[in-house]
Amino acid sequence: MSPSIRPTSTTATKPPVKLALTVVPYLLLAVFLNTSIPKFIGTDADVAAYTDIGMGQWLRYVTATFELLGGIGLVVPRTVGLAATGLTALLVGAVLTQAFLVTDGSIIMPAVLMLICGAIAWLRRDQVLGLIARH
């Protein structure tokens, strides 16, 4: 009988983490679809929020595009880490914007999403570093 080979990835040895890394990205995709589509449509609330920011409505379209592409990237196995990293950066900006520029917004939702995406990015850091090393 040969000795068993232990996986080096910490997520491979912890089924709850592996399950979370499988399920949570789909939940986040639903969240980002729910936040990006109204931005593309231009609901009154979104137009007003981006007017408060003061950088023009073009930022609403850029944000919606990054949310949509990032959400899709979370469910594509090859891009999970990169999408989570990009969304974390986007959400840092959202938290700062809500905290300092938007008068009627709350930082709770973007902060929670930022922490979840950041955790996924951290758990998938080997994937992101592998993508960077190839280029």
| Domain positions in the chain | 15-134
Judge whether residue 3 has pLDDT over 90. Answer: no
Average pLDDT over residues 56-77: 97
- Segment among 19-28, 65-74, 78-87, 96-105 with least mean pLDDT: 96-105
With a pLDDT cut of 90, the percent of the chain lying above it is: 67
Judge whether residue 110 has pLDDT over 80. Answer: yes
CA angle 34, 37, 42 (to 5 degrees): 125
Q: Is 2 exposed, middle or buried (0-12, 13-18, 19+ CB in 10 A)?
A: exposed
Judge whether residue 131 has pLDDT over 90. Answer: no
Judge whether residue 47 has pLDDT over 50. Answer: yes
The token duo for 86 is: 């990009």
Please state the pTM of the whole predicted model: 0.83
Cα 1–chain centre separation: 45
